[in-house]
Structure 1
Amino acid sequence: MGRLIARFSMKYRWWVFGLTAVITLVMGLMIPRISIDTDPENMLSAEQPDRVEHNRIKDLFDLYDMIVVGIVNTDHPQGIFNPDSLTALHRLSAGIEGIDGVISRDMLSLATVDNVEQVTPGTLSFDWMMDTPPANQAEADAIRKAVERLPMFYGTLVSEDGRAAGVYVPIVDKNESHRIATEIQAIIDTLESGDEFHITGQPVAQDTFGVEMFQQMAISAPLAGILIFLIMLYFFRSVPLVVAPMLLAMATVISTMGLLIGLGYTVHIMSSMIPIFLMPIAVVASIHVLSGFTDRCSAGADTQATMEEVIQSLYKPVIFTALTTTVGFASLMLTPIPPVQVFGAFVAVGVLFAMLLTLTFLPAFIAALPQSTVDRMVARVKKHEREGKGADCKLCEFMSATGRFATRHARPLLVSFAALLAVAVFGITQIQINDNPTRWFKQDHRIRVADAVLNHHFAGTYEAYIVLEQSAAADLEQSLQERAQPLLEDAREAGLSLDDQWQQLLEDAREDDPGATLDNLMFALDDLLFDAPAAELDYWEALLDEAESVRSEALYFQTPDGLHYMAELQAWLEDNGHVGKSNSLADLVRTINRELVSGQDEDYRIPDSPAGVAQAILSFQGSHRPHDLWHFVSQDYRSANIWLQLPSGDNQDMQRVVDAVERYTGKNPLPDGVELSWGGSTYVNLVWQNEMVEGMLLALLSAFAIVLLMMIVLFRSLLFGILAVLPLTLTIALIYGVMGLIGKSYDMPVAVLSSLSLGLSVDFAIHFIQRMRGAFDETGSWQQAMDYVFGEPARAITRNAVVISLGFLPLLAAALVPYITVGIFLASIMALSAIVTLLMLPAILRTAPGLFFGQQARQEVNASEQ
């Protein structure tokens, strides 16, 4: 079969070149249509319940993603409260309001919010907190005094230490956040107050990552290609020979990315890594082919005949290693994370395409080389071998020594491997699951710096929302009828028949919404009072009072009980340090009530009646920003929102908040008929991270089972199948065990690597076992077969490990942490996998040769020991 493939490819090589070029060109033309997406929400499908709920909450309370801009002054005795800093803040706020894409009416800044003060008891004044910049220190001090009296702003718009002020910038589209942040920075550059300015927030972190991600891949992929080329040139000493796998890799990368983009998929953080993954993976099989070709070929030999022999000996391991790698990547499609599914699917397609080119394009290319070029290459390699200074000669000596070491110290090696596995298992139990989009940048990146500074000064720049809702509306009409019956009976006893008129009023007022029905009824009763006979007047007034009472009770979050529950939950979360700060309708009502009653702290409380709550809310609606009310309560007052500010966006911290709320509601049950739900980008990040972990575990186990089955089928042996997966098992366990021991968090890049590294790691074992069995079948000698494997096959495995490990090293220079993580882990996994394979497999085979090769092998080993 291998000879047939090689012969066909070399005979029709120009057709192979032409078809490869056409596919690459057509797919390459799709790449300019690229669309980039870094929104972590898209880690969840559009139908995922938590995402649906998050978007519903945003719509219900008119919430938007926000960029946070901070101004910090640590030098002035009054901190931020000095004329120059507040003037800069005012100019900055005015400039931001004019940026396209900013929702100016919802922007929060000292320059855009009200100061509420009592004029006389029952009368309030809503004046702008900072309509104009302060002209002197006294005016700046007055602003400080005013803002410190408003709990909803203190710790949010200004830090409690007085050193920082914040501007919360709501934006229409989070995908525009990088542009908006750039325009904000341009405004900052015109200010000369001497303050520090910082821009952060999850939207700007995500969008900035998208911009820098594209730039990073434009640098890393070519660097990886250049590095791989140089390494292969060092091994094979022939530019024309090395050009072939590089062309193959480029065709694979261009075709795969073009296909992805052409099918309409966006390039997410995961799919952006496809080029850097495929570049080294695409040349892996080529290295085995080139190694076999250079070992077999001699000056003047028939190039095509040699290549046929090479492909015949390698086509099975090439196909099976490609299939196992494909399984590793394709297993990612089992995860519930759409970008990870896309990444896994298209890398799998790229691996299969690279395999096809390895078996067709590579023989065709070498067959097209002039014989003189091949002869010079062979002469150069042989010369270095004779002189004992070539890379291959040194590698040959090292491989032979490795084989001898592994077989002579088999039992100690196996004991060491068992001990390492035990340590690795312990390390795995220490792994912490955690992620945070802001931590996708290095610590010295401006966004990470801004995040650290502002969350040090403020209550928190990360948001989450607790939403309390009446799960079922009471039967308002029935409740009203029950209250109305005693009044109607009293009227009948007094000789008045109001029943029919009452029922007609109800019928005329009825609408689909019970609340609207009550509203219509109250309007009708109010009108009726002008014309009602004097004898009926008291009864109609009493019925109106009952209708108003039922309507008020239906507005659950306009009742003291509803507000008290929220306030107590907030206080518990803040007092126990679970959140930095929280704001809700309860805070707004308490603030307004204080100013309505006395202006003193003792009246910062929730009124005792629904009417008192309604009065506070009605008074607030006379402010410059009455629409802010609907960020905290729905217009039917059946849903209320608690805005949580968190100083950390880590999933672990968000999970602690969720757990804390569950503990609180367990001890203090939600009111009857009230349900609790979550929203906010920090909570959404927690959800997709948890789903990713569960999905990756399923993907890893599924991939492992499929790879094991493939190994059994490939080798037609249960024992050899199990033997093939032992090195990758130890390798993956060691990598993740070390991760747990050193405290590296299990995040998105690390999770993805668990499955895909499985498919890559087994490649070495496949080549080792396949070539070992082939040599044993030919020679009948276990020792000769082992010596053969630690010749050209072991050199090819080592070359592969070096190429693929070093091929990922350009990622270490990235400014983006996920790329650095991928670079370190994949390089480590591949290097360690090769080492474990070349030590573990000969040690196992040496310890129990008869188990794998029969009685003859056992006798041969026993004879060598005597």
Structure 2
Amino acid sequence: MDQIHAMYFETKATRGFLTLLRYRWAVLAMTFVMIGMMARYIPTLQRDTSSDAFMQPDSPALIYKEKMESVFGLTDPLVIAIVSQDPKGVFFPEALSLVETLTKQVERIPYIDPDRVTSLATENNITGTEEGIVTDPFFDKNAERFTAPVGTQARANEIRNAINQFPLLQGSLVSRDGKATIIAAELLDEDSGTAAYEAFLAIVENADLPENIALHVAGEGAVSGYLSVYIDRDARKLNPMAGLIITFVLLLAFFSLRAAVLPNLIVFATVSGSFGMMAASETSFYVITNGLVVNLIGIAVADSIHIISEYYRLLRANPDLDKKRLVAMSMSAMWRPITLTSITTVAGFLALAFSSVMPPVYYFGLFGALGVFLAWVYSMTLLPCAMLVWPTKRLPYPFKHKESSKPSSNLAEKLMTALGRTVLNRPKTVVAISALLTTVVIVGSSLVVVDEARIESFKSTEAIFQADKAINQTMDGVYNLDVMIDSHVSEGLFNPQTLRDIEALQHFMETLPGVNGTTSVVDYVKQLHKAVQGGQPEYYRIPDNEALIGQLFFLYGASADPTDFEEEVDYDYQRALIRAQVDNDRYINNKIVVPALEEWIRNNLNRDDLTATVTGRVTVNYYWIQGIDQATLASITISFIAVATVAMCVFRSLTLGAIAAVPVGLAVLFVYGIMGFLGIPLGVGTSMFAAIAIGLSIDFAIHTLDKIREITHQFGFDNTALLTLFPSTGRALLFNFMAVAGGFGVLATSDVPPLIKFGSLVAIAVTVAFVASMTLLPALIMLIKPNALKPTFETEQAYALSN
């Protein structure tokens, strides 16, 4: 009955495609209109390369960071570091003149807030006299406490001595060894990061540098700004390369212009539709979205390979058959496995989307699923219509007959046939080797750890990567770990005990790994207190008198701009900011620092009259990376359950569903084993591969099992009959594998390291899945001989009569 039903269903499918082909010109017109409508939105895509993009908008860590930025007027800075190899460090006239010149140029950049540029050229030295506090700009020729003329070595020496007496500026503005200083600037609008970064680069490139001086541009603002340009440049290289590789694979498989052009048409339609919908829905283009184009190129072409292979197989067997019927029969034979594999791939992308808390990963999965769906739709409609209107019925070289009229055996068929003989003759050996390799990779998988650093979105040869490294080696650190203090009352920061609590917190923060220095209003209070006491070192402490603390702020405001403190305190002295400089932003370090700081605050600081909240860039990065391991496990679990369930439903057998899942499980295990042995951490790029690899890997198993079922239902578990799997379906899967692995492998040439890892790992997973589907899966079938694959009574009788 099953076979009769299948024959009826197939006939019904053929008739359905014949009806579709009857209206081919209308179908082609409608699809091209739809493609055009979607493609017109693509130029409106907006990019978002900020770290904050990886956080949900309602995330507490992000909310507190935005609140902190609002209160203290802070944004992620761009930094120019002036690094000197001169014995005098940066304290010689030419270097200090360079600082002043660059500062003025930065202040004139239209995207920069001129009031939030910080350097030696903008800061004041704080000293005291009997009359009160004296604030002298370091480069002011009329400075009261600097006696040497500006531009002389004597003045440079005075500035160096002043810095040595001003702990607040050590490590944050000038390196502790005097070899480097920075110019930090904040954006007026974070969306202008790219333009601001380019303006910084122009200033640096045109600077007249003294001997032994080097300039570096870094900072979170620089990273976000350059990343947009970086991924654009990367996409212009990767996407055409992926297209060329896919076209080469198609030509190699079919030796046919039609077979090379038509799949590329499906690719274009798929990519245009996915990214057109992305733009139309006002979804941002994130850093990792750059890899989606290459993904869809590899995925979209796979269906075409199977359909065109089946068409040429039927044409070779039935050269006199009407072309329309040939196309319809090809579609009728392939629509079912293609639909099933599309469903499993969609499930993989959706599992990635709904198991992730990071918006970029969510949208990667969502629009990846949409792309796979569109590829299926166009493969079911556009491709057969285009095949029919292509003005030729020529049989290409790999499918031609010899003079004896027998099909020729090309290299791919010979290789797959040889593989098939080995597998079918030695199934126990294949299973034993697979079991041994699985044990090894399980050990490797246990070594995988979660880690990520945003600066590693760039190759180590990039100037911005090297700048980050240079600044973190010379200064206290370019990454900010912040704590916002709230005393809950106006002028609450005049309370000596509150300031001592802040000081104690600073001391604790400086014990944390990677934290090399902290700054807060406490440092200003101590410097002011020392200044009014004649600069005596023992007075570099917090006064015991609340009124005196208030008086210190009043005296400073009388002699300098009171807004000098706006990055440390709010206008009514209720809230304060502690900022720690951290020399790396690796998750493996942040997961120690942030929880330890939060615990210390819970146990030692928070009370009714004083609260502290950990925030800042380091904290935000910690929280968005924190969920990677849980999200990865969830996406793998959901994907695996989804594809296994689909396989069980497809074959109406728990056993066959489990067997189909074996290559998928091996693919994922092998990649994690490789990651563990090679020390590749689980990060944003590497965490995404599993769900997508599962969706892709099951395709090979489904096509293989579908063909095996067709063979065994007709001939039983006969080696000679099963061998026909390899030169037919096996050959198509070989080129399917080459196209998908080649498409993802293109990412290995990316300039974005997370995409390199992502593409390489998916390519490895697909390779393992293909090999396992062509070796382990048939071997298991031969050993287990599942009941679901045994011939029906009717086919057994027919087979017996034919022999």
Which TM-score applies when normalising by structure 2? Answer: 0.91
Aligned equivalent of 1:434: 451
The change in CA–CA distance for 1:369 and 1:855 in structure 2 (over 3 A counts) is closer
Q: Match of 1:394, as an amino acid?
A: L
How many corresponding residue pairs? Answer: 771
Conserved 8 A contact 1:578-1:656: no
Per-residue CA distance 1:830-853 (angstroms, 9 max, x = gap):
112111221210121122125553
Between 689-698 and 583-592, the greater mean CA deviation after superposition: 689-698
* Inter-partner Cα distance in structure 2 for 1:291 and 1:212: 39
Conserved 8 A contact 2:45-2:278: no
The change in CA–CA distance for 1:589 and 1:852 in structure 2 (over 3 A counts) is same
Q: Match of 2:387, as an amino acid?
A: I
Aligned equivalent of 1:715: 651
Q: Match of 1:125, as an amino acid?
A: V
Per-residue CA distance 1:375-433 (angstroms, 9 max, x = gap):
2x34564269999999x622212212222222333333323333333333333332221
The change in CA–CA distance for 1:265 and 1:650 in structure 2 (over 3 A counts) is same
Per-residue CA distance 1:196-218 (angstroms, 9 max, x = gap):
11101112212211122123223
State how 1:404-483 maps to structure 2 within 5 Å.
Answer: 404-470=421-487
Aligned equivalent of 2:349: 329
Aligned equivalent of 1:312: 332
Aligned equivalent of 2:126: 116
Conserved 8 A contact 1:70-1:164: yes
Conserved 8 A contact 1:73-1:196: yes
Aligned equivalent of 2:199: 183
Q: Of the candidates 693, 706, 709, which is equivalent to residue 757 of structure 1?
A: 693
State how 1:1-80 maps to structure 2 within 5 Å.
Answer: 1-74=12-85, 76-80=86-90
Conserved 8 A contact 2:712-2:791: no
State how 1:479-498 maps to structure 2 within 5 Å.
Answer: none
State how 1:691-702 maps to structure 2 within 5 Å.
Answer: 691-702=627-638
Aligned equivalent of 1:561: 497
Q: Of the candidates 184, 193, 199, which is equivalent to residue 217 of structure 2?
A: 199
The change in CA–CA distance for 1:388 and 1:98 in structure 2 (over 3 A counts) is farther
The change in CA–CA distance for 1:51 and 1:662 in structure 2 (over 3 A counts) is closer
- Give the 3-state SS of the residue equivalent to 1:374 in structure 2: coil
Q: CA deviation at 1:467?
A: 1.8
Conserved 8 A contact 1:773-1:785: no
- Give the 3-state SS of the residue equivalent to 1:250 in structure 2: helix
- Give the 3-state SS of the residue equivalent to 2:170 in structure 1: coil
Aligned equivalent of 2:264: 246
Aligned equivalent of 2:228: 210
Conserved 8 A contact 1:281-1:804: yes
* Inter-partner Cα distance in structure 2 for 1:217 and 1:387: 48
What is the root-mean-square deviation in Å for CA atoms of aligned residues?
2.5
State how 1:648-687 maps to structure 2 within 5 Å.
Answer: 648-662=584-598, 664-665=600-601, 668=604, 670-671=606-607, 673-687=609-623
Runs of 4+ in 1 over 6 A off after TM superposition: 383-390
Conserved 8 A contact 2:663-2:701: yes
Q: Match of 1:143, as an amino acid?
A: I
Q: Of the candidates 736, 752, 766, which is equivalent to residue 800 of structure 1?
A: 736
Conserved 8 A contact 1:31-1:261: yes
Per-residue CA distance 1:775-818 (angstroms, 9 max, x = gap):
21222344244212112101111111111111233322222212
Q: Of the candidates 128, 137, 140, which is equivalent to residue 137 of structure 2?
A: 128
Which structure 1 segments of 5+ residues have no match?
Answer: 474-514, 516-553, 860-866
Conserved 8 A contact 2:513-2:593: no
* Inter-partner Cα distance in structure 2 for 1:577 and 1:271: 33
Q: CA deviation at 1:665?
A: 4.1
Between 210-219 and 415-424, the greater mean CA deviation after superposition: 415-424
Question: Sequence identity, in percent?
Answer: 25
Aligned equivalent of 1:590: 526
Conserved 8 A contact 2:127-2:134: yes
Q: Is residue 93 of structure 2 the alignment partner of residue 83 of structure 1?
A: yes
Aligned equivalent of 1:604: 540
Which TM-score applies when normalising by structure 1? Answer: 0.85
Q: Match of 1:68, as an amino acid?
A: V
Aligned equivalent of 2:719: 783
Q: CA deviation at 1:768?
A: 0.4
Conserved 8 A contact 2:80-2:215: yes
Conserved 8 A contact 1:5-1:360: no
* Inter-partner Cα distance in structure 1 for 2:223 and 2:296: 27
Which structure 2 segments of 5+ residues have no match?
Answer: 1-11, 142-148, 797-803
Aligned equivalent of 1:346: 367
The change in CA–CA distance for 1:5 and 1:280 in structure 2 (over 3 A counts) is farther
Between 777-786 and 59-68, the greater mean CA deviation after superposition: 777-786
* Inter-partner Cα distance in structure 2 for 1:168 and 1:606: 28
Q: CA deviation at 1:22?
A: 0.6
Conserved 8 A contact 1:732-1:829: yes
* Inter-partner Cα distance in structure 1 for 2:16 and 2:371: 20
Q: Match of 2:22, as an amino acid?
A: K
Q: CA deviation at 1:95?
A: 0.9
Q: Of the candidates 153, 170, 173, which is equivalent to residue 154 of structure 1?
A: 170
Aligned equivalent of 2:6: none
Q: CA deviation at 1:772?
A: 0.6
Between 582-591 and 308-317, the greater mean CA deviation after superposition: 308-317
Aligned equivalent of 1:168: 184
Bigger Rg, which one: 1
Q: Is residue 585 of structure 2 the alignment partner of residue 621 of structure 1?
A: no
Conserved 8 A contact 1:116-1:125: yes
Q: Of the candidates 374, 378, 381, which is equivalent to residue 360 of structure 1?
A: 381
The change in CA–CA distance for 1:611 and 1:426 in structure 2 (over 3 A counts) is farther
The change in CA–CA distance for 1:192 and 1:386 in structure 2 (over 3 A counts) is farther
* Inter-partner Cα distance in structure 1 for 2:649 and 2:747: 36
The change in CA–CA distance for 1:700 and 1:689 in structure 2 (over 3 A counts) is same
Per-residue CA distance 1:19-66 (angstroms, 9 max, x = gap):
111111111111122211112212222222221121111112222221
* Inter-partner Cα distance in structure 1 for 2:546 and 2:634: 52
Aligned equivalent of 1:273: 291
Conserved 8 A contact 1:772-1:788: no
Conserved 8 A contact 1:460-1:647: yes
Aligned equivalent of 1:396: 413
Per-residue CA distance 1:510-537 (angstroms, 9 max, x = gap):
xxxxx6xxxxxxxxxxxxxxxxxxxxxx
Q: Of the candidates 773, 779, 786, which is equivalent to residue 709 of structure 2?
A: 773
Q: CA deviation at 1:743?
A: 1.4
Q: Of the candidates 369, 381, 389, which is equivalent to residue 390 of structure 2?
A: 369
Q: Match of 1:153, as an amino acid?
A: L
